Structure formats: C-alpha cells, structure tokens
Amino acid sequence: MSRWQATTREEAAQEPALTIDALGKKCPIPIILLAEQIRSVPLNAIVAVLADDPAAYTDVPAWCRLKSHPHVATYELPKGGWAIHVRRNY
C-alpha cells in the first residue's frame, strides 16, 4: 500500500464492484468517469479508479471529500499509476 491507507482491514480486502480504467487519461477525465459511473454500483460498494496522471493521485481523494464518498485506499500499480478505491456512500 502507498501513503494512503485503508480505513479498516475489511475495506482493504473488499473487491471492487467496478473498475474504471483511466490509465493514460489526464485529469479531470478520471474524476468525470468516476462521477458518471459511481451510481452504477450498489450502496457501500467499492469502485476502483485506475489512473496514472499524477493529478489523479490527489484529485480523486479530494473529489471524495467534496462528494462525501469515502476514499478507502490507494494502491500503487506494478506498471505505474494507482488503483484508487472509493466507497459509494449514497
């Protein structure tokens, strides 16, 4: 795990219900894709946003705070970038 830590072990272990592949896309595209698709998963489900734009590393968690969806964790991907896990709250 990178600097962002999962809030609980259960959250860290939960598999994403949806993975959004935004690798190679510049911000704000990862956030736009997340905003468009987060309601397609059940409440409390995890959405993983795969992104390699450095802005996404901070912007997706900031969007989570703004929209009241918990940022669960951020994991470094083996080939670069991150998997940013977000829990749908409403």
- By DSSP bridging, strand 71-76 and strand 46-51 are unpaired
Distance CA 27, CA 9 (A): 29
CATH class of 9-87: alpha beta
- Checking DSSP bridges between strand 18-21 and strand 71-76, what pairing results, if any? unpaired
pTM for the whole thing?
0.87
Question: Are the C-beta atoms of residues 66 and 60 closer than 8 Å to each other?
Answer: no
Out of 27, 31, 48, 49, the active site residue is 27
Is the distance from CB of 8 to CB of 69 less than 8 angstroms?
Answer: no
pLDDT at residue 54, as a whole number = 98
* 27 part of the active site: yes
Q: How confident is the model at residue 9 (pLDDT cuts 50, 70, 90)?
A: low
